[in-house]
Amino acid sequence: MIREQVSLKPYNTFGIDVKAAAFASFDSVDTLKALLNENNQQLPLMFLGGGSNVLFTKDVDALVLRNEIKGIQIVSETNETVHVEVGSGEEWHAFVRYTVEKGWGGIENMSLIPGSVGASPMQNIGAYGAEIKDCFVSLKAYHIESGEIHEFDAAQCHFGYRESVFKRELKGQYVIIAVTYRLTKHPQFNTAYGAIQSEIEAMGVETLSVEAISQAVMNIRRSKLPDPKVLGNAGSFFKNPVVSEEIGNQLIAQFPDAPVYPQANGMVKLAAGWLIEKAGLKGYRRGNCGVHEKQALVLVNHGGATGSEIYALSQHVLDSVEAKFGVLLEREVNIY
Ligand code: EPU
């Protein structure tokens, strides 16, 4: 059922109160088709999953369609691996916990990332040394123009750092319906990311397990990242910038403690949170919004902020970092 003039406040983790011209949710491809027929191309479309990576700066003059396609099913299994197909409207963290409780490895480092399963390949989500592309098998997507379901393997998704073909070349053309992941029954634990190792030690864990890693990641995230239910936010607002080796070396020469991560292609990734902190903005507050006091990469709504206010703050952050370091940050959150 399509409703008109609906507040999107409950549907975005920044908690921004804008109105959608029309709104409906769908829990199957058939419901989606019926809604598209009902709309009959009168309004442009906007698809929303968990709403955890979007900043609304104005009312949305579109039919907003919220994906609630559910379901988790094992599609194949050997002694070593399990392939699980998951409805794109499932909550990501709930799926992670399902796999951890089974003892299957692959996505435990990505515990507590907000958002839906459908968003995971869309922007190749990642955390603590793991990325979705490494356990991705395939996905099914609804092609809006033809009404056909198309299948994509990993190569066809063109995964990059927080990137995929669905954010670039095929933007707006497909709705992700289901994603299949490969999980392992004899996990290789990934604790290389410094904070995990020290948290595991602090927890007094003697035998590593996917459960222990998941708990460690949850502890770290809860200590640094604000809970959207308490303080509106959309996770990292900016991407970590990837710059030339030369610029990386210049930064190190000037600031020997700057974190730099050499990439396979010779470029170096810088920590945007560090740059923002060193630009003096960690914990900075302006009006109803601010830079999170424990992780400068996250912008927060202290209550009642408008999207434009947060956008203006993000511009101030961009300008300050550019002025101090000559590095231009890029927003990770989708701006509407
Ligand atoms: N740092 C600071 N000050 C800050 C924040 C970070 O100095 O305010 C430094 C840290 O001390 C560390 C480095 O910057 O040396 C990296 O920080 P952290 O490990 O917290 O990770 P991040 O690079 O800031 C990325 C992801 C997060 C993910 C974490 C952990 C991006 C844009 N962000 O953050 O993902 O949880 O790594 O793997 O890549 C998200 O995408 O929404 C997200 C939260």
Q: What is the DSSP letter of 109?
A: G
Same fold, 72-184 and 232-335: no
Q: Where are the domains of the chain?
A: 3-67, 72-184, 232-335
pLDDT of residue 99: 98
Q: What is the pLDDT of residue 41?
A: 78
Distance of CA 93 to the CA centre of its chain: 11
Residue range 83-102: average pLDDT? 98
Q: Cα separation of 37 and 92, whole Å?
A: 29
pLDDT digits (tens, 9 = 90+) for 36-60: 999 987 999 999 999 999 999 999 9
Q: Pick from 124, 331, 121: which is nearest to 236 by CA?
A: 331
Confidence check: pLDDT of 111 > 80? yes
- Residue 129, both tokens: 């040394």
Place of tokens 């507040």: 7
Which residue is closest in CA terms to ligand 1's atom 25? 127
Give me the mean pLDDT over the 185-209 stretch: 93
- Supply the CATH classification number for the domain 232-335: 3.90.78.10
**Residue 97 pLDDT class (50, 70, 90 cuts):** very high
Tell me the average pLDDT across 55-67: 98
Q: What is the mean pLDDT of residues 208-224?
A: 96
pLDDT of residue 194 exceeding 90, the answer is no
* Domain covering 72-184 assigned CATH 3.30.465.10 in the classification: yes
The question of whether 246 is a catalytic residue gets the answer no
Is the pLDDT confidence value at 264 over 90?
no
163 catalytic? Reply is no
Atom of ligand 1 nearest to the CA of 239: 32
Token digits of residue 297: 């990469």
CB 255 within 8 A of CB 240: no
Return mean pLDDT, the chain.
96
- For ligand 1, whether the C-beta of 295 sits within 6 Å is yes
Nearest protein CA to atom 1 of ligand 1, as residue: 274
Please work out whether the CB of residue 274 comes within 6 Å of at least one atom of ligand 1: yes
- How far separated are the first and last CA of the chain, in Å rounded? 24
How far is Cα 288 from Cα 290, in angstroms, rounded to an integer? 7
Which of 58, 121, 112, 122 has its CA nearest to residue 235? 112
Which tokens belong to 113? 């990332």
Is 151's pLDDT higher than 90? Answer: yes
CATH class of 3-67: alpha beta
Q: Which residues contact 153 (CB under 8 A, 6 or more apart)?
A: 137, 138
In three-state secondary structure terms, 250 is helix
221 in catalytic set: no
Q: Is 323 helix (H, G, I), strand (E, B) or coil?
A: helix
How confident is the model over 305-333, as a mean pLDDT?
97
Question: Residue 11's closest CA among 45, 52, 42, 61?
Answer: 52
What is the value of pTM for the model shown? 0.93
Question: Which atom of ligand 1 is the closest one to the Cα of 195?
Answer: 19
**With the CA atoms of 28, 99, 216 and 80 taken in that order, what torsion angle do they form, in degrees rounded to the nearest 10?**
-140
What confidence score (pLDDT) does residue 65 get?
98
Residues in the chain: 336
pLDDT tens digits along 234-258: 999 999 999 999 999 999 999 999 9
The token duo for 245 is 């080796």
Q: How far is the CA of 144 from the centre of ligand 1 (A)?
A: 35
For residue range 133-149, what is the model confidence (pLDDT) as tens digits? 999 999 999 999 999 99
Candidate of 162, 252, 297 to mutate for ligand 1, largest count of ligand atoms within 8 Å of Cβ: 297
- Residue whose CA is at the smallest distance from ligand 1 atom 41: 236
Nearest CA, atom 13, ligand 1: 271
Residue-wise pLDDT tens digits, 155-180: 999 999 899 999 999 999 999 999 99
- Cα gap 105→96, rounded to integer Å: 10
| Active-site entry in 66, 162, 182, 221 | 162
How does pLDDT run across 283-306, given as a tens digit for each residue?
A: 999 999 999 999 999 999 999 999
Cross-strand partners of 60: 20
State the Cα–Cα distance between residues 165 and 139, nearest whole angstrom. Answer: 12
Report whether residue 112 contacts ligand 1, using a CB cutoff of 6 Å: no
